[in-house]
Structure 1
């Protein structure tokens, strides 16, 4: 290759490197089959840091740990939620007001429940439940603190590994309960910045 050829190739590589440095590429959400970029935590909205109630009765902010994007599935995917450890059967309550959008059984989440916020811009996801609270049904309006279910080990949690997997998704108009962009729930629950 001539000096001119090397010069053109060098300029081209510099342009590509500059473009890559200024472009933000999201990580894929493969926790529920989506290929959506992971959204940043909302600022100055309903989902502002510390605005959600801890959805497991008796658990304090000090007990929460930021497990966002920890390896799951043997390293094949990142964790898109906050695992809240508690004894099996501990009541799970609504972290925010909304409407129960879906009760669902899945291989990963086990017994799950999705609540959509009143403005329809957020989904709150509760997974690995042992069961639903009496009377809970799709379409039900809930307030913060209302009973939803019980901490369990269903789905891929593993027998005896009792915890609530709590997730938050930012929703666009017309998106269904599984189509939102995942947001790290830890700062929304703990009132502190994410540790990663």
Structure 2
């Protein structure tokens, strides 16, 4: 009888100890304000990345165009317009505006979204915005994603959200940036046509 009582006592003590320990760890790490929290699963992380938006800070160039990456100042821009690309087979015809992944990309000028296009081996996730007078196309490439609700035919104002800086297409993932181009258009030219002009002096005020 004593042996059974001793066994029962040991079992009860073990159960109570395990229960108290579990409650302690749950309270400290499961939902405590200062404890470690379980990491969200991959799906939650991807959803958060896809919907997160940062604050937008608009800087204007000397011509009134907005620098199309939030928080970038004119003196931070680099003229890459004539740099060689594709092993020297062509020139850049655009400028690269370096910024961290997810930095908001905004409209440089008012206009209408003419084309949202994905180019796997080129600009990746891209947006083409035609100016209100039809004479200019503003091209935004290598985006991480589009701004929520952005669609073709949509009217945008200077500073309106276009998307976020990324490295889609043929961009280096280690160097996220916005590839920004301006094309002068003549009557009848389609969204992918036009004559490239250098955005750098328009945004930075330097030749």
Deviates more, 1:112-121 or 1:150-159: 150-159
Give the structure-2-normalised TM-score.
Answer: 0.69
Aligned structure 1 segments of 4 or more residues deviating by more than 2 angstroms? 48-51
Higher helix share: 2
Q: 1:49 offset after TM fit, Å?
A: 5.8
Deviations 1:100-141 (A, max 9, x none): 000001121010000000000000000000000000000000
Q: Is the aligned partner of 1:59 residue 2:72?
A: yes
Helix, strand or coil at the partner of 2:170: helix
Equivalent in the alignment of 2:83: 70
Q: 1:74 offset after TM fit, Å?
A: 1.2
Deviations 1:9-42 (A, max 9, x none): xxxxxxxxxxxxxxxxxxxxxxxxxxxxxxxxxx
Give the structure-1-normalised TM-score.
Answer: 0.72
Q: 1:159 offset after TM fit, Å?
A: 1.8
1:168-183 superposed matches below 5 A: 168-183=182-197
Pick aligned residue for 2:158 from 128, 138, 144: 144
* Structure 2: stretches of 5+ with no match in the other structure: 1-60
Structure number with greater Rg is 2
Pick aligned residue for 1:163 from 147, 167, 177: 177
State how far apart, in whole Å, the 2-side matches of 1:62 and 1:127 are. Answer: 22
Q: 1:51 offset after TM fit, Å?
A: 2.9
Q: 1:50 offset after TM fit, Å?
A: 2.9
Equivalent in the alignment of 1:4: none
